[in-house]
Chains A and B, each alone.
Chain A
Amino acid sequence: MDFLNAIVAILNYVFVPATAYGAQLALGALGVTLIYGILRFSNFAHGDTMAFGTAMTILVTWGLQKLGLHFGPLPTALIALPFGIAITAAFVLATDRAVYAYYRKVRAAPVILVMVSVGVMFVMNGVTRFVIGVDEIQFTDGARFVISAKGFREATGLAEPLAIRTTQVLTVVLAGLVVWALFWFLNKTRTGKSMRAFSDNEDLALLSGINPNHVVAVTWIIAAALATTAGVLYGLDKSFKAFNYFQLLLPIFASAIVGGLGNPLGAIAGGFIIAYSEVAVTYAWKKVATYAIPGFEAEGLMQLLSTEYKFAVSFAILIIVLLFKPTGLFKGKAV
């Protein structure tokens, strides 16, 4: 019984939240890595693209709710998601036409493109706040829990609760589907193959007749779709606040770099590594140890690091990886 309690405690406070958070980071990191692999620069505006996409989805969600449309136990925002993606893709393509296209034409160095993306980030930042405001917005509806803490306690008689939110399940399932679709697209379709060719060797790809404008446009559309999906899932699971998406940029970049920039598999692994390390290293193991080892009475909290240092953990991992494997855990491009 005590052993079960220990397992439930780990599931509830470490496994479930870290998995959901990891899936959100992985989706974000995929977008960053895709831009890096194909367009060859680190897109700092990605966090704010997520915020913009989520803001658009929220607006459509409100519209749908006004019309009385609901999605049963699932959040209405899922119906609004494709619309949000479409608007964001259009916005991102317009940005590319207005800003990035010029720097590609003059063959600017990647570091200049990075600075340009910082500029775009600030503009997007402002646009998002202008449209939807700076306040915290809860836009999830439908059933809140798959398993609620109270229900689980009553059903099993265990002392420890287990809660799984609908949005957590949704995040993991949807992230899995999106990743599967992305890999299928990159490996099986003609456009996907031309994107990979363009990423591997731009000159050779151009010589073999691949249309660069087409590749760039498709890349932006996919990145917008990934960003909006990641943003909406994060917003459903926690809440929407424009400033938080800006903060999210750091762990997303850490994930992408740990996994290996430009490598989609690495982005996913990186997302989960960062999320698990943040939650697990700062977890106080006292309760679990007391349950798991009979007759054991923990003195302290059995916490490796206090929670203030959770960001230090992900960045320590980042530095160690860069020192010993500069291309990331999965072979990406050198930074």
Chain B
Amino acid sequence: MKKLLLATAAAALTAGGAFAEDVKLGISLGFTGPLESMSPAMAQGAELAMKEVSDSGKFMGGAAVVPVRGDSTCVDAAAATATVERLVTTEGVKGVVGGMCSGETTASLQNVGIPNGMVMISPSATSPALSTLEDNGLFFRTSPSDARQGVVMTEIIMEHGIKSVAVTYTNNDYGKGLADSFAEAFKAAGGTVTIVAAHDDGKADYSAEVGALASAGGEALVIAGYIDQGGSGILRGSLDTGAFETFVLPDGMIGDTLQNNFAAELAGSFGQIPSSEGAGKEKFIEMASVAGFDGSSVYSGEAYDAAALIMLAMAAAGSTDPSVYKEKVMDVANAPGEPILPGELGKALELIAAGTDIDYQGASSVELIGAGESAGTFREIEVKDGKIETVKYR
């Protein structure tokens, strides 16, 4: 017994010694809640980048990076704030990968991130409201704003020769943000939006919404909703009553349910989802499968990039102090410099140490614009012969 105690004490001591040099990074994602199925692959993506940097031995004189997970719940702003508070004050993290959903991210950023001067990089919060938030240069995101999706959607619709559309959105931050930014972009491009009508998720009947949309008319219907929620009801109602024949489907509407329940009736409908392609993405998926998770899962690559950006900015600034390295995030993310793909973080650290500029590309072809958000690549899809097919990336 005595021996065991001694051994444990000794182990604790050595562990404590190693800890002194460690850098902790927080991962605040919705491990429970409506997006709980997406979170594990995202956290594993972020942890993959941390492990890669630790294993390289070239970070901050050989320091290890230790991930600390926290549950942001995606929907409960108070719970997310408490989680980030714990990460920052109790765990002493030097940067946070998160939050996950737009509302919760805004709350934790304003209540904890900004007062404590903590850098937060979200892999998946897409609300346009986050672009204009006064963030003291502390907030970045590796996902594109929905304002960008609105513009891309406008381009795709215009290319199909459609000039007037009706819009319906799910009544929350995501739906409203996307619908508003799209309506603005579409009008600016010379199109007509006949109606912008909200629908609530999980309701008994959508005849009223379908009726109003049909009466307003338009060549196509844009559904900024969720395929597993009210979006399904609107789509079913519109198809059955013959209200619309062509549908425009943003990211929330594209999923297995669409393929299984609707694809056969949607010939000619189209849409887009944030998604990247190319060497970086392929490399990341390959690395993920070696590490034992699915790298093609939504926003997993973006989480890897968020963690990588924090660590590379630290290296470039030569400091783990958020108020110092926040200045370097845009530098390492953008040109000019040596392009860096996933799996090359060790090489990036060497280049930084040698004083060479780097241009981090990562899994999602990172290019930060504006107030520090991804320009984003989108996958354009079209339904042909009962299948969802990729047209091209833009």
Contacts and interface: CB of A to CB of B under 8 A. Distances in A.
Query: Is the A/B pair a real complex?
Result: yes
Interface of A: 9, 12-14, 17-18, 21, 136, 138, 145, 148-150, 152-153, 161-163, 165, 234, 238-239, 241, 243-244, 247-248, 251, 275, 278-279, 282-288, 301, 303, 306-308, 310
13 contacts: A13-B214, A13-B241, A17-B210, A21-B207, A161-B241, A161-B242, A163-B240, A279-B208, A282-B211, A286-B215, A288-B215, A303-B215, A308-B200
Interface in B38-62: none
B226 to A, nearest CB: 12
A252 to B, nearest CB: 9
A284 B241 contact: no
Contacts of A152: 242
B155 interface: no
B242 A9 contact: no
B232 interface: yes
Contact of B208 (A153, A285, A287, A307): A307
B204 A244 contact: yes
B198 interface: yes
Which one of A9, A138, A238, A239 has the highest number of Cβ atoms from chain B below 10 Å of its Cβ? Answer: A238
B166 to A, nearest CB: 10
Interface centre among B199, B205, B212 (most CB of A within 10 A): B205
Interface in B198-250: 198-200, 202-205, 207-212, 214-217, 228, 232-233, 236-237, 240-243
B212 A301 contact: yes
B261 interface: yes
Given A247-B203, A306-B198, A136 B241 contact: no
Contacts, number: 107
Contacts of A243: 202
A248 B203 CA distance: 8
Contacts of A234: 204
B171 interface: yes
B211 A14 contact: yes
B197 interface: yes
Given A251-B204, A307-B208, A308-B171, A287 B242 contact: no
A288 to B, nearest CB: 7
Given A247-B202, A287-B217, A149 B207 contact: no
Contact of B211 (A165, A248, A279): A279
Contacts of B118: none
A138 B262 CA distance: 12
A307 B202 CA distance: 15
A12 B208 CA distance: 11
A99 B58 CA distance: 68
A80 B325 CA distance: 66
B211 A149 contact: no
Interface string B151-184: 0000000000000000000010000000000000
A220 to B, nearest CB: 25
B195 interface: yes
A134 to B, nearest CB: 10
Given A287-B214, A307-B212, A18 B204 contact: no
A301 B192 CA distance: 14
Contact of B215 (A21, A138, A301, A306): A301
Given A161-B241, A163-B240, A310 B208 contact: yes
A176 B202 CA distance: 28
Contacts of A17: 205, 207, 210-211, 237, 241
Contact of A301 (B208, B216, B237, B243): B216
B255 to A, nearest CB: 12
B43 to A, nearest CB: 24
A10 B231 CA distance: 23
Contact of B240 (A18, A165, A282): A165
- Most A CB contacts (10 A, CB to CB) among B198, B212, B236 go to B212
B181 to A, nearest CB: 19
A210 B200 CA distance: 48
A158 to B, nearest CB: 11
A194 B204 CA distance: 36
B241 A149 contact: yes
A163 B208 contact: no
Given A12-B241, A163-B240, A18 B197 contact: no
A163 B199 contact: no
B95 to A, nearest CB: 36
A21 B214 CA distance: 19
Contacts of B205: 17, 21, 238, 275, 278
Contact of A307 (B198, B228, B236, B243): B198
A284 B211 contact: yes
B303 to A, nearest CB: 27
Contacts of B243: 13, 161
